Amino acid sequence: MRTRRALRADLRRLGATTPGADRSTALPDELRSAAAACDALRAARDALLADPAIRPLADEALDRRAAVLRTVVHAGRAERLDARRSDERAAIIARAVSSGRELAPHERERVAELDAAAPDRSWEQRLGSPAMRDAVLAELGRLRLRTARAQLRGGLLRTEQMRSIIEEALPALRRGAPMLLIGETGGAKTALAEAIARDELGREPELVSGYGDISSAQLIGAHELRAEGGATVSVFVPGPLLRAMTEGRVLILDEVNAMPPEFLKRLNRILQLRPGARYAVQEHAGDTIEISPGFAIIATANEQSGHRYRGIDRLSAELVNRFGANAYRVHYPDSAAAAGSEHATTPRENLLLAAAAVCDEDGRLPDALPLAQLEAVARAAFISQQVFSGRTDGGFERYVSTEREVDGRPGLEESVLAPRTLVAILEKVAGSAGTVTLEHALRRFVEGVMHREDRAVLTLIIEGQGFRLS
């Protein structure tokens, strides 16, 4: 199986198709040995199947496999039905929001029907034995990994938290209301904003990253000198805000609390604008533009902390109030399940993220990263995220020094094995063709942490999951 997968991967890289035995001589030299090995495996398989003592056993195994796959297909069909119901519900609400009206009676009735519909669990009746159950659940897990892999490569793993935020925020965004996403570093705030703009609202967003000396002209636009017809003329070039307004797209203000206060004062007024309103462009002699449908602002902000995120200012109450009820805290994965639980709890969302980062297109994990290792590193990530966020119960308090506890500081000051960091580490291992171990990659990560106390805490967390960093 491993040989066939390696050959298929190399053929895809070369843009070729899987060769038959009679075509293997047409392959590049570096693939001929792999093709020959596959031919030898096929010959050995055919010889086994020709044995009268083995053939009945093979047929029985194939029948069991077929029964498993039929059950998996039934379960997958049920899951797709649930997804279609959710999509239909969202579409009904979107139509009403786009027209600026309430749901009609028949629409309200249909939404209630969709909410009340029970999931189809009839496929579970086919799980007649523990062996059948385990085989079906393994295949379903592989299918879900394929879905998670596709989501992650699309930019965002759709965890329950992410789906909930998207579903609640979309009606307001479609009306042009602004949205604020607040959370710790590496928690996928920007990825969530981009996914909402691209996948839900259907347009590529404009993005402005926050920094201390950004000016209104850089956001709105400015005059530039250009050569036209042998003369130098001043031309007004719209910035990302005006492009988003005129083209009906989302403007993402990433790390808005890293922007200067005088800039944010100008933003206060902009956040009140909605599609259909007119905006006077001071930078362009007061010319006005009409804001197109589809325009909205999504801002992201790091949590306010006196001990991290240098250059980050506290957002004013006036600015936050502009977002109204459209402010959402984006928590690290498994945070909801962590409430009241022990730090040894299996972090399902971090584990799904880890597996989705490294599985192949068939949902299979690489040999270099077995499930046990993924569980260990997912738990290390989960613990570091909770400690970084300030958890001091359920066993997490062991990672907080007495000095930090007295000062009310979290156990990790600046560094964390955040979701995006976890993905980057695992992709390095999976992309090394087995030459870089997970332990080595984790060691490199810890060595790169600048804060000495954080290095010690991260080492304690990671070594507590069975890795050796020294």
Name the domain count of the chain: 4
Whether residues 277 and 402 share a domain: the answer is no
Of residues 130 and 181, which shows the higher confidence score? 181
- Listing DSSP states for 200-230 in one string gives IS-SPPEEEE--TT--HHHHHEEEEEEEETT
Q: Does residue 183 sit in the same domain as residue 312?
A: yes
Does residue 193 lie in a domain region? yes
**Mean pLDDT (whole number) for 303-321:** 70
In-domain check, residue 468:
no
Tell whether 116 and 193 lie within a shared domain: no
Does residue 59 sit in the same domain as residue 26?
no
Residue 163 lies in a domain: no
- Classify residue 166: in a domain, yes or no: no
Q: 247 pLDDT exceeds 90?
A: yes
Residues 6+ apart with CB under 8 A from 455: 415, 446, 447, 449
d(CA 63, CA 45): 17
Is 14 a residue whose pLDDT tops 70?
no
**Which has the higher per-residue pLDDT, 246 or 54?**
246
189 and 147 fall within a common domain = no
Least confident of 15-29, 176-190, 375-389, 448-462: 15-29
Are residues 78 and 33 part of one domain?
no
Same domain, 103 and 147: yes
Same domain, 319 and 345: no
> pLDDT tens across 386-427, in order?
999 888 887 888 888 877 777 778 889 889 999 999 999 999
309 and 289 together in one domain:
yes
* Same domain flag for 292 and 436: no
- Residue 66 included in any domain: yes
- Looking at residue 198, what DSSP letter applies? I
Over residues 325-363, the pLDDT tens digits come to: 999 999 999 988 766 566 667 899 999 999 999 999 889
pLDDT of residue 46: 78
H helices of 401-469, in order, are 402-407, 419-430, 438-447, 452-463
Q: Kindly report the average pLDDT of the chain as a whole number.
A: 86
Coil vs helix vs strand at 284: helix
Q: In this predicted structure, what is the pLDDT of residue 21? A: 42
Residue 440 predicted with pLDDT over 90 = yes
Q: Is residue 160 part of a domain?
A: no
67 within a domain of the structure (yes/no): yes
pLDDT at 211 over 60: yes
- Residue 456 and residue 408 share a domain: yes
Find the domain containing 342 and state its range: 335-463
Specify whether 186 is located in the same domain as 322: yes
Residue 200: band (very low, low, confident or very high) from pLDDT cuts 50, 70, 90: very high
Give the pLDDT of residue 22: 42
The pLDDT of residue 375 is above 60: yes
Secondary structure class of 236 (helix, strand, coil)? strand
Choose one of 309, 330, 351: the last residue of a domain: 330
Angle at 111 between CA 107 and CA 112, to 5 degrees: 115
Specify the pLDDT at position 16.
58
- Is the pLDDT at 296 greater than 70? The verdict is yes
pLDDT of residue 4 exceeding 90, the answer is no
Domain closes at, from 330, 364, 399: 330
The pLDDT-based confidence of 461 (bands split at 50, 70, 90) is very high
Residue 400: inside a domain, yes or no? yes
Between 177 and 56, the higher pLDDT residue: 177
Indicate the pTM of the whole model.
0.81
